[in-house]
Each structure stands twice: as C-alpha cells, then as structure tokens.
Structure 1
Amino acid sequence: MKTSFADFTALKKEADTVYLKLQRMGFIESEMLQLQKENDSSFIADFFLGKKYSEIAIYYSQEDFTKKELQGVASEITDEYFVLPFEKIPTSLRKLTTIRNQKGNAFARLRLTEFERSESYKLSATLLVDNGNIRTVDSIAIKGYEKFPLSFLKYYAGVKKGKPFNQKKLVEQSESLNSLGFVSAIKPPEALFRKDSTTVYFYLEKQNNNLFDGILGFATDEETQKLTFNGYLNLELNNNLNYGEQLLLNYKADGKEQVNFRVKATLPYLLKTPFGLSGELKIFKRDSTFITTEQQLRATYQINPKSTTYIGYKGYDSSNLLDIAIAGTPVEDFKSKFFIAGASYIKPQNKKLFPIKTVISFDGGVGVRDKEGNSDDQVRIETLLNNIFNLNYKNSIFVQNITSVLFSDSYLVNELFRFGGINSIRGFNENSIDASLYSIINTEYRYQFNDGVFVHSIIDLGYFENETLSLKQNLYSFGFGLGLNTKAGLFKFNVANGNTQNQDFSFSNTKIHISISSKF
C-alpha cells in the first residue's frame, strides 16, 4: 500500500482502493469514516471494519447452471444455493461467465444482488444472469487459403453452422487443422457480430505436404545376369487438387531377398458428405519362394472429428514360385476373400514434431481361403494403440502396441503376417519374421531440445507365434534414436540391438535404421 502521494487526489484514490480491498476480503460492512488532515504533510484515514465474512451462500437457478458446472467453482452445492469463499467471488464469477459464453451467450454478464445477513450472521446473495442474445455460427469465411476444402472444417475440425458460438472451442478446432499437414492456422479465428448474425473468420495458410524419400539402385545378378533393382522409394502426394486427396506410392527391394510394392489412393468427404473412399494394392515377393498380391477397397464414414469407421473388401492372391517343395515350408497357391470392417480414433495435438497424441485403431476381417479346391474359414484381426504422455514441453513418453492375429484351421507361410524393422520392432530386418500371431510394445522416452531436434530411447518388447513351425518366441530390442527437422525434411536415425529369447547379447545384431521425409 502506498504511503506517499503527489497530491490530495492521488491520496483519495488510494483510500478508495483500500476500501474496495476490504470489501473483497469479506468486510462488507466496512466504511471509511473520515479522511482527516493531521498537518501540512500528513492525513489520517479512519475505517470501520465490522464483521468479516469468510464465505457466502449464493442462490441460483438450475436453468442457468447445473450442479456439474458449479463443481468447477464450489465444493458445497445444493439444489438452491452453492457456497463460495469470499475472496474467490471475482474469479468464480469469471469462470461461470465463461461457461455461459460457451453455450452461445457471447455477451453474458453475471452479478450478485439481494445481499442478506441472517440472524446467525451468515451472508447470502442471489446470482443474477443476463444472458444477452444467444449467438450461433451463422457463416464461415476463410482468409489466406480460400480454396481450402471446407469439408475438413466441417467434419474433421467439427466447425458447423448453427452451432453455439464458443470462442475457446473455435480456437481449439482451428489448431486441430495443423495436424492435417497441408494447412496451418496462422492466427486464432475471429468473429464479426452483426445485429442478426455472427460470422467467424479462419486464418489459414496452405502448406506443401508432398513427401519424398528414396534411393534406387541397379545391379546385374551374378547368377542369372539379369538386371535387378534395389533400394526404396516413398512418395506421398497430399492435397494437390485442394480436395484433401492423398496418393501413396512405396517401393522397397534389397535386390534378392524381398520386394515390397504398395500404392494407395484416398478420396475423403465425397460430395461434401462424411463418406469417403480408399483403394489399395500391395505386392510382396520373397526371393524365389512366393509372390502375394493384396487388393483392398474401403468405404469410410467420419463419425465425429476424431472417430472414423469403415467397411470394405480385401482379397489375396498368392503364387508358389518354388520348383521343388521344401520340407517344413508349406507354401502353396491360394486365393482369399475377406469382408472387412474397422474403426479408428485419432486425437491430434498442437506440436510440430509430434502432431498426433493418441491413436486407437481396430481392423477385422472375416473370409475364406481357397487352395486346390479346399476352403478354410478365416478371421484376421489387427489393432494399433499408441499415446504420447506429455510430462512437460521437453519431456514425453511414447507407448505403442501393435497386435495381429490370424485364426485358421491350417496355415501357409505365404499368408502369415510379416513384421520387423523401423515400423514394428526395431533391431530386426524389415519383414524378416513370419507370424500367425504377434504383439509388439514400443516405448520411447523423448527429450525435445526445441521444435527441430529431439533424442529418444528405444525399448521394444515382442511376442509371436508361427503355427507353420510350431514356434513361440519372445523378442526384445534396446537402443536410441535422433530426430532432426532439417530444410530437406525430417531426418530420423535409430540404432537398436534386437535379440530373441535365450539368445546371448551380440553387437552383430545391432541394426541402424535411417529415414528422411522431404516435403515439396
């Protein structure tokens, strides 16, 4: 509290401030009795304090607030009133005002009236709510990226006309668009309130989000003298037509052991509805043993901004390339047809390096496998669960589980799941492990230096079963990784040592996984 003043006006202002502070502390009966001049340079202010009230009972209408809403400001709540510590009245009223604003009452005002003191010297008041006009989002305007596909705003972010105006929620919805990759929110949305309408302006900027990563080599096979390809290619084209469409192309080959090829096209929000389509083709060839082609077609439906479901068809066509059967390796020609269905939940977060916080995905299929005129009923189930636990800005823990299982009366090598490598369990060669059932737990402790550099640990645990070999085994790997967000793209460098059950540690089992995603 100030004790010296330039003039009497400043002194009087400070005296009034002290009086208001006393009122807010619970001395509501207090009053300034006099401000008396003692001498030419001194004044004395006399205050009457009266009784201090430590709490107040506030009567309310359940039409204005529910008990659940009041739990955020008060611990003692009845059907008629709630009790607040006197000092918390201003902050509590602000919180309750925010609740009204979120219901579309953008100009709601709250105040206490009808103060009363009971015979037991308890204080009460009535909460008066002036809701003003309920505001809804009547129109939406995009600034900066006028060709932005509005279906993403409606179904992905959840911004819809006719919904109550909620500034806080609109900011969160705008920031959620950053996880799309091809757009960024350059500043929070703003609202223009007219007499009869409310227009919300979103400020967006288109981002280049095409990704390329690849090395392609040519060589001559020493045995066959034929030209072979090796290396990998990863091409991802996103939103080039301003429709939100996506085209993926993946190719990976080591020249001898195996070849992977994948192409996928996705068309979201057909005819501006929550329905979409995706088609995918995969080809896998293992040396001279077999080649398998997988086709998939899905019809998707966006339930809400975070949840999607789908139904579709998946087919397999596999050919045995062996001239002579190898004992213990059941590889045969077969064809499979599956009806598939699934759902996913994806929760984004506003972080440049890690834009996705949570993923829950379930894929199931029921079908029939035909080989040499014999049919077997089969069920395929695949799940993915991961989450980032943010300890603070720099420290986080990533946990992921991948589980896949095939139910069948009999099994073939060329229909099993294949896993291993940077996208499943690190420290093992890509797709080097066959399994009828496997479950992998990936964990990383991440330390983020800034928005462009992070390091992390690697602790992966796994279990798999191979019915064709009557094999059940545990896997584990340990290591570390580095991530750099460079001008060329996101560079990831992982070193992991993978081992199987009952296997002694050996440095020769260490694998280095390198990837870089370049945007253009």
Structure 2
Amino acid sequence: MKLIFYIFLYLNIYTIFSSESFAQKFTLEIKGEISISESLKDSIQFVENHPDVSSVKSEADSIATRLQRIGYIESVLRNFQKKNDSVFTARYFLGNKYQYIKVYFSETDISKKELQQVTSEIYEDYFILPYELTAITLQKLNTLKTNQGNAFSRIRLSELEIENTSTLTATLHIDSGVKRIVDEIIVKGYEKFPISFIKYYAGVRKGKTFSRKKILDQNQSLNNLGFVTTLKEPEVLFKKDSTTVYFYLEKQTNNTFDGILGFATNEDTQKLEFNGYLDIVLNNNLNFGEHLRINYKADGKEQVNFEASTDLPYLFKSPFGLGAGLKIFKRDSTFVTTNQLAKVTYQINPRSNSYIGYKFYESSNLRETTPTTTPIEDYTSNFIITGITYFKGQQSSLFPNKSFASLESEIGRRNFQQEKENQLRFSITASTIFNLNYSNSIFIKSSSSLLSTNSYFTNELFRFGGINSIRGFDENSIDASLFSILNTEYRYQFSPNLYLHSIIDLGYFENAVINIKQNLFSFGIGLGINSKSGLFKLNFANGRSENQVFNFSNSKIHISFSSKF
C-alpha cells in the first residue's frame, strides 16, 4: 500500500515540475517595409514573449493602433503568420511618420488664453502640437472646459488631412453642453454641521459655476477646520435642470489642553526655578463653529499673564462674525495692565479674514514710587484696530498649518493725567513650511511689532520672550518699543508621529524708555511625539544677547503637552 502511495506522490510531483519546465512560450516578431528599430519598439511598448497564441494575436492587432498614436497614421497590419511551432511573424505597413499636427480652432469655442495652458505655438486661427501629445492635449482641454462648469463637454478632431511630409491638419470641435450651476448643497453624516462654513470658509455656494476640481479642493479645505473630517470625496447628482453636491462629513473632537513645565537655574541664587502655562481651547461644542480660548502663564517670578478670547463666526449665516477678548498682565508688585477687545470680522475668501474693532487699555502703577529710569504710570488708552489674516493648511497630523500671515494696526490715544497723546501700534506675523520631501522640511516664522509715540512708559511696551516667541529666554522677560524676531527650524520626520528639529532664533529689539538697542540669539534642539493622548514637545535652547558671554547654565528646557478632548 505504501508503495502505491509513493508512486502516486512521485507522479504528481513530476507532473507539476514537468509542466512548469516544459510549458511552451510563444514569440512575436514584427517587421515592416523599413527596419523597425529597438527605440521604435520601446515607443510602442512592444511585448515579445507571450504565454499563449491568443496573447500573441492580441499584441499583433494592437500594435498598428499604437503606431498610429505616435505619428504613423497610415500603419496597418498586412500579414500575420506562423513561422514555426513557437514563433509568429507580423508584417506592417508603417508609411510616413508625421511629427506635428496643425489644429484649426474658433475663438467662440476656446480662447487663446486657454490654449496657452497646453501649447506655446498659437497663431491667428490655429495652434501646433507634437503629434504624440495630441491625445493628452485633448484631455487637458476637456478638463479645462469641465472645470468651467461644462461637466459634459466633449472635444474631438475632424477633417484630418496631410499638409506635408511632417505635418497633419485638423479642425477642433467642442461640444460644450449645458453649463452646470450648483443648485443645492447637502451634508451627509454630520447633519448639524454649520452650513455657513461650506459657503464662506470652503467657498462652495449655490448659483456658482460647477467645477469638480474646485469642489475637491474645497472639500479638502474643510479638513483644516479641525472639528470636522471628510469621510470621502463629494458626489454630484446631475439632473436635467439641477445640480446637487453632496458632502460626507463627520464631527471631530477639537478641544485642546496644553500645558508647559519649564525649569532653569537662577543666575543670582543658582537655585532651580519653575515656570509654566495653561492653554485651553474649546471649538464647535455648540455646533456653531464657535471658538473659546483661555490662556494662563506664570514664570515663577510673580509675573502672571491671563488671556481669554472668543470668536463667533458667520452670524445669521452671513460672512460677518464677532470677537471679544480680555488680557491681564501683572509684573510682581510693579504694575498691572488690562486690555479689552471687541471686533467685527468679515470672511473675504476661504483663506483670508479681516476685522475692525475697538481696544481699551488700562494700566496701574503698584509701587508707591517709580524709578526715573523705568517710568511706570497710571494711564488709559483707546484704539481703533484693523487687521487681516491669511491661513493655508496641509494634510499632516504633526504640522497642519502650512502658511499663516497676520497684519494688525492700532490707531488711538493715550490718556495720562490731563494729557492726551496720539499713538500707533503695528504688528505683523508670517510663517510657512517648506516641504523638501516626506521626511525633511524647513519652518520659518517672522514676527515684528512697533509702538510709535512721543513718550514711552515701561508698562505700555511690548513684552516678548519664551517658547512662543524667541526661545532660550524667560516668558515675557524683554520689554520693547520695537522688536523683530526670526524663528527657524529644520525638521526631520522619522515617522508620521515623531520628529526632531533644530532651533535657530534671531531677534532685534529697541527699548525707547531706557534707550537700548540689542541683537538676540538662540540655539537649541527640539523633539515632538504625537500619540493617542496628544502632542508632546521637548525644547532645549540657550539664548543670549550680543554682548553676553555664552553660559550653559542660561539654557532653558521647556516641556509641552497638548491633548485633545
């Protein structure tokens, strides 16, 4: 019995291996009235070896079509025959190869400006293309018409004729069809989604020309909101007299909690000092797209900063919104300054927002006497503020903000005792990320502020320094009537959730109160880890002024953890 089993096993194994070893392969040879070069074979993507006869025949039949696409428009399969048991020969008539095609057009169908997107050789009533690019060019022109609202446009060439041995002529025909207009917008999945964000933030509006490319881009911009994610690409329902766009969205939790613990050695006492801050942001909890932020900072030296702000976008489904803010800054027993803000916002386009409002400052001297070198006085100020912001996002869990810019001006008057003095405050911030490839990127941010007035008080100056301005310095430790900061980072991303970056910060500031001008420098390294719990950041930086000797003990270590809830 065992002998029979082994014989059966041997026969099966032999059959398998012998069938693989002796499986017949078939070869196709192609010939023409002229020799067919290897480069021509590569151009038509010729496949020589085949597993069966039907594959050989299919390849022979399709070669003539491929030859026509690259300029041999007269090519035809003349003969197909079997040479021997495994070799087949296909003979073709190639004819002349045409290099160019001259396409006549009418400007009532397509403009010269549109044609400039596909060719540079445009004349009065025709344009010229390399013949091999004809199919690709027609596809691009068709896409162009589709994006203009002609969703069912068709483009074709007719009246194909020979002009000379290198050039063909043809006439361009465009069937534009009915221009489609967005008649209705429907959101699926997140029924309570504030529809005004689709209209003003994403820029999709009823009555606008339908463009599939724009719809896809606008769908992607909704992901940048943070509190919503797109489940899939939008779908469009075309009816005879209407066009309906469907967005598939899902609500996302986008409340964040951010805390920083910092520690450094005191230069005078050589003791370890702690500082930190708390940052809470609440987004879209009422399905209105509202934004609320509470920020608290303390540097361990009795310096306290409290800030609260809120934004209510798209009131009454309009592009207008409201914003308000409160900020309190207290420096030990020296002074306390409060400013209050109210503004009206207007969405210019999906990426740009403008605002105008009113800001009130009030500051109090907490000392009984004030040194003449650092004048601190009780005052109030009233300002009219105007500003504009720009934002562009990108698909990245670590770096969702691709570019940002803001410009703000404050024009007003300071009231001190019985004196009134005109003042101007000006601030500008811009940042961007240069993505070199998946792993490498460069981050650059520039921030500048200016206070213009006839006389200056210490408690009305700008305050900067710390992890969110120039790193390697204590939070809000530098007073300035003018400052400019350049932050740079070279980032290397090991994975979608882990990156390492350099820290090179440069700064310049002027303090008109004590009449100093200084350059600042900061160097260091940072680490970021994104997990299910949140984003963890660790920064190590050493900052110094131009006249200060490097001291390692001046280095600052900042630990930040931002968690969504």
Give the SS at the match of 2:151: coil
Aligned position for 1:350: 395
CA distance in 2, matches of 1:335, 1:214: 32
Aligned position for 2:234: 189
**What is the CA distance between 1:36 and its match in structure 2?**
5.1
**What is the CA distance between 1:121 and its match in structure 2?**
5.3
CA spacing shift, 1:47–1:274, aligned 2, 3 Å? same
Counterpart selection for 1:371 from 416, 425, 443: 416
* Aligned residue runs from structure 1 range 76-91, under 5 A: 76-91=121-136
Aligned position for 1:322: 367
**What is the CA distance between 1:203 and its match in structure 2?**
1.3
Aligned position for 1:482: 527
Deviations 1:348-404 (A, max 9, x none): 222222122111211001111011111111000000011111111221111111000
- TM-score calculated relative to the size of structure 2: 0.86
Structure 2 unmatched runs, 5+ = 1-45, 262-273
CA spacing shift, 1:239–1:50, aligned 2, 3 Å? same
CA distance in 2, matches of 1:7, 1:419: 77
**What is the CA distance between 1:40 and its match in structure 2?**
7.7
Cα-Cα RMSD? 2.0
**What is the CA distance between 1:66 and its match in structure 2?**
2.9
Deviations 1:177-224 (A, max 9, x none): 1111111112111112222222211111111111123489xxxxxxxx
Q: 2:98 touches 2:165 (CA, 8 Å); kept in 1?
A: no
Q: 2:481 touches 2:512 (CA, 8 Å); kept in 1?
A: yes
Deviations 1:278-298 (A, max 9, x none): 000000000010000001111
Counterpart selection for 1:251 from 296, 316, 319: 296
**What is the CA distance between 1:47 and its match in structure 2?**
2.0
Q: 2:99 touches 2:166 (CA, 8 Å); kept in 1?
A: no
* Aligned residue runs from structure 1 range 13-412, under 5 A: 13-35=58-80, 44-119=89-164, 122-214=167-259, 232-254=277-299, 256-412=301-457
Q: 1:395 touches 1:446 (CA, 8 Å); kept in 2?
A: yes
Deviations 1:389-430 (A, max 9, x none): 111122111111100000000000000000000111000000
CA spacing shift, 1:164–1:293, aligned 2, 3 Å? same
How many residues in Structure 1 have an aligned counterpart in Structure 2?
508
Give the SS at the match of 2:559: strand
Give the SS at the match of 2:326: strand
CA spacing shift, 1:496–1:230, aligned 2, 3 Å? closer
What is the letter of the counterpart of residue 188 of structure 2? Answer: K
CA distance in 2, matches of 1:488, 1:38: 70
Aligned position for 2:10: none
CA distance in 2, matches of 1:364, 1:239: 29
Structure 1 unmatched runs, 5+ = 217-228
Deviations 1:48-78 (A, max 9, x none): 2221111111112223333333233223122
* Aligned residue runs from structure 1 range 421-440, under 5 A: 421-440=466-485
What is the letter of the counterpart of residue 203 of structure 2? Answer: G
What is the letter of the counterpart of residue 151 of structure 1? Answer: S
Q: Is the radius of gyration larger for structure 1 or structure 2?
A: 2
**What is the CA distance between 1:123 and its match in structure 2?**
1.1
Q: 1:62 touches 1:79 (CA, 8 Å); kept in 2?
A: no
**What is the CA distance between 1:5 and its match in structure 2?**
6.6
Counterpart selection for 2:561 from 503, 511, 516: 516
Q: 1:176 touches 1:350 (CA, 8 Å); kept in 2?
A: no
What is the letter of the counterpart of residue 217 of structure 2? Answer: E
Give the SS at the match of 2:526: strand
CA distance in 1, matches of 2:524, 2:52: 71
Aligned position for 2:30: none
CA spacing shift, 1:11–1:364, aligned 2, 3 Å? same
**Please, which moves more after superposition, 104-113 or 19-28?**
104-113
Q: 2:97 touches 2:166 (CA, 8 Å); kept in 1?
A: no
Counterpart selection for 1:453 from 474, 498, 512: 498
